[in-house]
Chain A
Amino acid sequence: MAWFTFPADNLLCRCLGISITVWFTLLFVFIIMPAVLGVSFGIRSFYMRTLLKIFEWATLRMELGAKEKNQELYKPYTNGIIAKEPPSSLQQEIQELRGSANSLRSEPEFEMADIFYFCRRGVESIVDDEVTKRFSAQELKSWNLLTRSNYNFRHISLRLTVLWGLGILIRYGVLLPLRVTLAVTGICLLLVLTTLVAFLPNAELRSYLSEKVHLMCYRICVRALTAIITYHNRENKPKNGGICVANHTTPIDVIILANDGCYSLVGQVHGGLMGMVQRAMVKSSSHIWFERSEVKDRHLVAKRLGDHVADKTKQPILVFPEGTCINNTSVMMFKKGSFEIGCTVYPVAIKYDPRFGDAFWNSSKFGMVSYLLRMMSSWAIVCSVWYLPPMNREEGEDAVQFANRVKAAIAAQGGLVDLIWDGGLKRAKVKDVFKEEQQKLYSKVLVGDSEDQMEDKRSEDGTPEGDESSKDPAEGQ
């Protein structure tokens, strides 16, 4: 038996050896070298165009197949399930409610019918509300051969199933190992090279080299995710002594931005692999890592950030003011901390194209590792980055207003909905102060205080739209 298996074994070993060598050579030549040098062969854009054509074909087949079998195709509604009336103020609504009941009122009073207003609003929000849907992945109109993003997949046609099976094979068999190899290479290189650079005595040389090293490693990581990024308006790139703010969708945002420029990152000190990476990065360039206990101390945070921006030789700080990951359909409330420092703010808008793979990290559903695996087994991550012109705080503007102005600019550029809701609502409950606002508004209707109608405009819930009614028509005097 031995003489029979031996040549087969030998052959197998040799095949394996050759294929690994070929694999690594290809990897090196086509991916790592360009990453190191900062050149691109255009492979990824070609890949993207091919994929798009295949997706369109797949969606078409699915629709035809569904028509043939006379089945209803589930079409995700992107504009919600119910038609929301245009937002009118609490006062207007209650007036309308009462107006239909009793037009002559000597003095405003409680009506049993008033409850209908609150009741309907409440049930509307149970069926569809603005906030909770921002914390789960967006729905797609066309299918991208990933079952995770579509309810419709069934055995519609043999060709489609075959294509899907092929897709799985390619993604998990070819792309995933490739990407994992690249990611590991990138991280190892980062650790090793930054430590080496830290040994250099000359400060200028050190910062120059550390910049190059960082950029190189981020480029490798970008290829590890097959991220196809288009940068717009690069003349507005953040400069030293400023803060760069961006909308937050996923931890990958950092890689996407750092691919094009060097930033100082801000964050909490982690343990494990992240901690090692953090410590290595700090050796060669300055980043701001906080201990867990220090995070609560706002003055300390503000001071460290302030010191950093005051030093013009240091790189711009990268901050995500939303504080949590939002699903890239909207921009939520910006925390004012970074806007209080008083330096130039460089807003950046990041918009992901969901057709190739949903980049949103739903931290309540997926842990970090399973999220990364999902990312690496998607087709690609395609996004656009817009650098917006720098903004400064104007006279008479407080931090919150400045933050909202920046937020509006980012939302406008990225085509996202601008919400005033706090991203922290993902985990925490709404503060009672909102309920009190509603109660205040209602009590004004009862007590009939007309001079506070100006105040109503600002304290109206949700929509920043002001109400038109200024004088209460039914009110005497």
Chain B
Amino acid sequence: MGSSSSNMDHIPDAQHLMQETGFSAAHLVRLYERFDFLDKDDRGELRLDDFEAVSELAMNPIGDRIIRAFFSPGRETVDFPSFVRILAHFRPTDTNRTRNGRNGAQPEPANSRTNKLKFAFQLYDQDRDGKISREELLQVLRAMLEMQVTEEQLQSIAERAIQEADLDLDDTISFDEFKKSLEKVDIEHKMSIRFLE
């Protein structure tokens, strides 16, 4: 926390980013390196094709949704702070957080359970209207299964999923319903990536 090496000079707003995301200086340097590496044309920001160059991502059925999650709506490039803020969602949840009640002004950290859930919710809810419609659910299922099941099977899977989760029977899944249906899932562990020191 005290001294920072001058490698941090490359990184815009480093101290602020560290506080906001909870990454340490070493992490930021490493992430900046990775950002720089992905940025093939040295533009200082990432484009769609920079993400698409990652082979393991292209193999992922929902790869393009994950990529789009990095881009704020309406923007076509990702700068380093945005890159880090998204990745901050995947930091392991801090076990010694202060409860929100004590200090209401403090915003929830990016890697809280709720924020992780929000990130996953947005993967389903592409039009960002706060609800997962049947059509959106179908799209995700199609992406994950494509030619492996028939259209009828897809429809029936979607139907069952909505029936299970949709508590207020408005034929869509809101964020709270989403949260409720995933109550028992160990999100802290499954949506976390361990960054090495």
Contact = CB atoms under 8 A, between A and B. Distances in A.
B187 A112 contact: no
B120 A127 contact: no
B57 A122 contact: yes
A130 B59 contact: no
Contacts of B61: 118, 435, 438-439, 442
**Of B62, B157, B183, which is in contact with the most chain A CB atoms at under 10 Å from its CB?**
B62
20 contacts: A70-B3, A73-B5, A74-B5, A82-B195, A82-B196, A100-B185, A115-B124, A116-B191, A118-B61, A118-B62, A119-B119, A120-B193, A126-B87, A129-B57, A131-B55, A136-B37, A429-B53, A436-B147, A442-B61, A446-B149
B155 to A, nearest CB: 12
Interface in B134-148: 140-141, 144-148
A147 B137 CA distance: 52
**Of B40, B60, B182, which is in contact with the most chain A CB atoms at under 10 Å from its CB?**
B60
A462 interface: yes
A461 B187 CA distance: 24
Interface stretch (B25-33, B93-101, B106-114): B25-33
Contacts of B182: 101, 112-113
Interface of B: 2-7, 25-27, 29-31, 34, 37-38, 40, 51-63, 66, 87, 90, 119-120, 123-124, 140-141, 144-149, 157-158, 160-161, 165, 173, 178, 181-187, 190-196
Contact of A115 (B3, B53, B123): B123
A131 B6 CA distance: 30
B34 A119 contact: no
Nearest to B2: A70
B62 A127 contact: no
Interface string A290-312: 00000000000000000000000
B193 A435 contact: no
A113 to B, nearest CB: 5
A111 B181 CA distance: 9
B131 to A, nearest CB: 14
A111 B178 CA distance: 11
Contacts of B148: 439-440, 442-443
B54 A120 contact: no
A56 interface: no
Contacts of B195: 81-83
Given A127-B193, A136-B37, A119 B123 contact: yes
A74 B181 contact: no
Nearest to B8: A72
B196 A80 contact: yes
Interface in A131-157: 131-133, 136, 151, 154
B60 A100 contact: no
A125 interface: yes
Nearest to A110: B157
A430 B60 CA distance: 11
Contacts of A124: 193
B31 A127 contact: yes
B62 to A, nearest CB: 5
Given A72-B3, A112-B165, A129 B56 contact: yes
A117 interface: yes
A10 interface: no
B15 to A, nearest CB: 14
Contact of A130 (B29, B53, B56, B158): B56
Nearest to B160: A109
Given A110-B160, A443-B149, A446-B157, A128 B34 contact: yes
A207 B37 CA distance: 49
Interface in A60-81: 70-74, 77, 79-81
A320 B112 CA distance: 50
Contacts of A372: none
Contacts of A429: 52-53, 55, 58
A269 interface: no
Nearest to B26: A72
Contacts of B165: 112
B3 A74 contact: no
Contacts of A430: 55, 58-59
A465 interface: no
B144 A114 contact: yes
B60 A71 contact: no
A127 B145 contact: no
A437 to B, nearest CB: 8
